[in-house]
Amino acid sequence: MIYLDHAATTPLAPEVAEAMAPWLTAGAVGNASSLHAAGRRARAAVEDARDRVAAAVGVTPLEVLFTSGGTEADGSAIKGLVWAARQAGRGTAVVTTAIEHHAVLESCEWLADHQGVDVTAVGVEPDGIVDADRLLDAVDDAGAGDTALVSVMAANNELGTLQPLDVIGPALAERGVALHTDAVQAFGRIPLAVDVWQPTAMALSAHKFGGPTGVGVLVLRRDATPHPLLHGGAQERGVRSGTLNVAGIVGLGVAAELAARRQPAEHDRVSALRDRMIAALTAIDGIALNGHPERRLPGHVHLAVTGVDAETLLMALDRAGVACSTGSACQSGAARRSHVLDAIGAAADAAHIRLTLGATTTADDVDAATRIVADAVAGLTADSVGAVSGPDGEG
């Protein structure tokens, strides 16, 4: 199989599996909150991972809180910071963008529907990038003092487009407005400029950078005190109660360190492969690139294929040994058009497919997959099946 779905999840790195193994063997024991020797060993492993993540991200260990993944980190930041603002008598308006991951958008929608929070989702340009001035105008319209939080992702999971946080971050800091950024797709693929962005909160997910599923990070500034979503043992600065997932956290720590160390070289290697694939495929009649050609993640190829059915194309590629996705990995199989495709006004008479390259992708993979995609599209165009666009999903 040629795996070109690294935005959905990445293969577990061998070094990560090795580091996790002792915590997953029969008889392994360790609650990081226990005071006995086994508990202290688990605590030491967790704190070692926290140090590695902090160094990889460029924050202090105190600012690294472990969660069950990106979804929990997004929801905890958004709901928790809005609830805290409301209790402090500050404004509760939220400004976000129309192309955020559902973990962000639906947290915002829930606050709007259940708690009357005023949410503005700013549209994006046809290239999949939000205009910074337009976003800041929305903050000014809501009133900086009335805005509890702005949530803008660092990189979009479907298109791979990079958002202008280097402009938005400092402008929000000047206004005294808190920023949450979903950096789930960005970490390990581009540098996170935390000193420039100055986020109050940031979400990461281990399985997007060679770590295990089910573990992530809420990077939370030391002075931020969101209300918790979960109550109990008051672990993780009281923001995230629950016995820590020691094996997952150990794996996350090693994965974060490796991803940060390899990021510069991997960026150059993978983006060269991406550009080769884009050049070859967009040279074919009826195939166009979605999203900004340069301001995108190194591994993201997102294509509009005119006159072809997305599911049929995906299945043909799967049969030929190429694993990729329609827009993004499927969300409970629901065939609903992606909100990201809607936001960029993507053609309705085209299949939209996402091929995402990563650490395990070789030049041979890319060349073989390019041929397979070209052949599949040629076959389907000849068959001239009806045209529908790709379904919505997550990943």
Residues that bind ligand PLP (CB under 6 A): 69-71, 74, 101, 103, 153, 157, 182, 184-185, 205, 216, 394-395
d(CA 257, CA 200): 22
Q: Which of 24, 38, 320, 330 is catalytic?
A: 330
Nearer to ligand PLP, 153 or 165 (CB): 153
Helix (H) or strand (E) holding 261: helix 246-282
Long-range contacts of 87-92 (CB under 8 A, 24+ apart): 87/227, 90/145, 90/146, 90/148, 91/142, 91/143, 91/145, 91/146, 91/147, 91/148, 92/117, 92/118, 92/146, 92/148
Nearer to ligand PLP, 252 or 270 (CB): 252
Q: How far is the CB of 10 from ligand PLP (least distance, A)?
A: 11
Q: Are 159 and 291 in contact (CB under 8 A)?
A: yes
d(CA 240, CA 305): 44
Q: Which residue has the tokens 């379904």?
A: 391
Nearer to ligand PLP, 71 or 326 (CB): 71
List residues bridging with 120 in a β-sheet: 95
Q: Are 164 and 97 in contact (CB under 8 A)?
A: no
Examine the residue annotation and report whether 324 is marked as an active-site residue of this protein: no
Specify the pairing of strand 350-356 against strand 300-306. antiparallel
Q: Catalytic amino acids?
A: 330
